[in-house]
Structure 1
Amino acid sequence: MGVIRTDDGVELFYRDWAAEEGRDEGEGRPILFVSSWSLTSDAWAYQMLPLSMQGCRCVAFDRRGHGRSAESPSGYGFDRLADDIAALLEALDLRGVTLVGHSMATGEILRYLTRHGAGRVAGVVMVGTITPLLARTADNPDGVDPAVFEAFRSEQLLRDFPKWLGDNVGPFLDERTSAEVKGWITGMALNSSLKALLDCHRAITSADFRRELPGIAVPTLVVHGDRDVTTPLDLARRTVALMPNATLSLYEDAPHGLFLTHRDRFNAELLAFVQR
């Protein structure tokens, strides 16, 4: 575990699990995991441990304003968050890395590639993607009415976020998930800055990645569940259609948090993608 300091003075917490116990740090194929809105690096434990035992170097960090990372003096826009990914990759000198992002993190990874290029990147895995565009606009009539997002922020996030978490952790996972795992997930979310959550949600629901996606040529695996009530499956299909080197992997009966509910399948598919 460690901390890096960004160019605007924010300390970002990260964990770095080298491949197999006893091997030198830095050996193995590197994977950088980026967590979703409100969650932290802890959420990837059930990927990082088994994959590090399979010879991968697994790295994850807490987004600014989340978990053990400091709050941001420079906002929470996707450009800023993408630059944090760049700072970590450069600080650890990760090359040939597979970038794995869930939900909000898919936008951060895409923006990283747009701003910094793919020189350090071997591939990308996007789970429950928010791309290409969530909000309804004149040229995106199937999107969500922006008033729905604003109502969530004003009536739920800023009034009783703990209750909203309790009401929605069930659909994020599934009926087979233990109460303890649900509590673990909600505990992570409650350990993040409410200011960061508000600003990040504004960024998520307004970002438009349609022009960026066609320029991303690195091999990309888009993983999505057909029971995802957070990001509809159509987003994944539209994302793959816009990218020149992307493949959709559809998980039947899987929710937004499929990396936990379907971890065995996901871990096997991720390892195969990294080792391809």
Structure 2
Amino acid sequence: MKTGFVTTKDGVEIFYKDWGSGTPIVFSHGWPLSSDDWDAQMMFFLAQGFRVVAHDRRGHGRSSQVATGHDMDHYADDLAAVVQHLDLKGAIHVGHSTGGGEVVHYLARHGEKRAAKAVLIAAVPPLMVKSASNPGGLPKDVFDGIQQQVATNRAQFYRDLPAGPFYGFNRPGAKPQEGIIQNWWRQGMMGGAKAHYDGVVAFSQTDFTEDLKKITLPVLVQHGDDDQIVPYADSGPLSAKLLKNGTLKTYKGYPHGMPTTHADVINADILAFIKG
């Protein structure tokens, strides 16, 4: 079991964790978090006999807080650098939110020869921002507002987001868990403001339609129908349709952060998909 860094072609140090042996499962985290957001998955799958690998996206967590390269091409290339450095073969790629976009772009850009299956959890594809071709998307000013808060007072914004819509803690009858809220804040504040600011454009304005069409391996698409961050109707079902071999699983009432709040269900369904 080890942790380490891989240096990318443009000199960025990407932090990764690599635990266990067996079939590798590679986890790509959401904005603006780190590989720590996968604790519940990594511990579960490690106990199931898998090799679990997760990295901190450039500018996030323990990776270099660089000012440049915060776009999907670099995210996909950084993931490829980790996969190649660890010589992973037959990997299952699991991406949450922005990480789901990273996985989709990685598979389309770098090919499937080192991959076996993929899982997209509450993921941003096909496209988040509203446009002529994506009338169901969110207006660009929503994302402009997020950038404004990141640039001026992200410490407060990173407290309010997990305390409210990210985990559905703003819903009637919800029981907010202070540890989960603080851990989200901790992960967010570890990263660089510039990376997080630019990352908003990367996750909201990247159109993954053609990427999704290129992917041939089996993909499980998991999405909660009460996702207040990546709205269900304009994401999960559309991605599943564009994929050649996609399976959509819808979770009634589940929030965006369901890998944390409903880890037992999400983990069991991923395990069944991997073994299926």
Q: Per-residue deviation at 1:147? A: 2.1
Q: Find out whether 1:255 has 2:248 as its counterpart.
A: no
Q: Per-residue deviation at 1:203? A: 1.2
Change beyond 3 A, Cα 1:48–1:189: same
Q: Per-residue deviation at 1:70? A: 0.4
User: Equivalent residue for 2:190?
Assistant: 191
AA in 2 matched with 1:249: K
Q: Structure 2: any 5+ residue segments left out of the alignment?
A: none
- Measure, in 1, the Cα distance between the counterparts of 2:257 and 2:62: 22
Structure 2 residue matching 1:172: 3-state secondary structure: coil
Structure 2 residue matching 1:99: 3-state secondary structure: strand
AA in 1 matched with 2:159: G
String of CA shifts for 1:213-248, please: whole Å, max 9, x gaps.
111111000111111000011111111111110011
User: Equivalent residue for 1:49?
Assistant: 43
Q: Find out whether 1:180 has 2:179 as its counterpart.
A: yes
Identity over aligned pairs, percent: 39
User: Equivalent residue for 1:200?
Assistant: 199
AA in 2 matched with 1:111: H
Q: Per-residue deviation at 1:152? A: 2.5
**Count of residue pairs the alignment pairs up:** 267
Q: Structure 1: any 5+ residue segments left out of the alignment?
A: 19-26
AA in 1 matched with 2:232: L
Structure 1 residue matching 2:17: 3-state secondary structure: strand
- TM-score, reference length from structure 2: 0.93
- TM-score, reference length from structure 1: 0.93
Q: Per-residue deviation at 1:74? A: 4.2
- Measure, in 2, the Cα distance between the counterparts of 1:109 and 1:89: 12
Q: Per-residue deviation at 1:269? A: 1.1
AA in 1 matched with 2:254: A
AA in 2 matched with 1:182: I
Contact 1:225 1:255 (8 Å CA) reproduced: yes
User: Equivalent residue for 2:236?
Assistant: 236
User: Equivalent residue for 1:167?
Assistant: 160
- Measure, in 2, the Cα distance between the counterparts of 1:146 and 1:69: 29
Contact 1:71 1:193 (8 Å CA) reproduced: yes
User: Equivalent residue for 1:138?
Assistant: 132
Q: CA RMSD in A?
A: 1.2
User: Equivalent residue for 1:10?
Assistant: 12
- Measure, in 1, the Cα distance between the counterparts of 2:82 and 2:67: 18
String of CA shifts for 1:107-136, please: whole Å, max 9, x gaps.
111111111100011100001111111111
Contact 1:8 1:73 (8 Å CA) reproduced: no
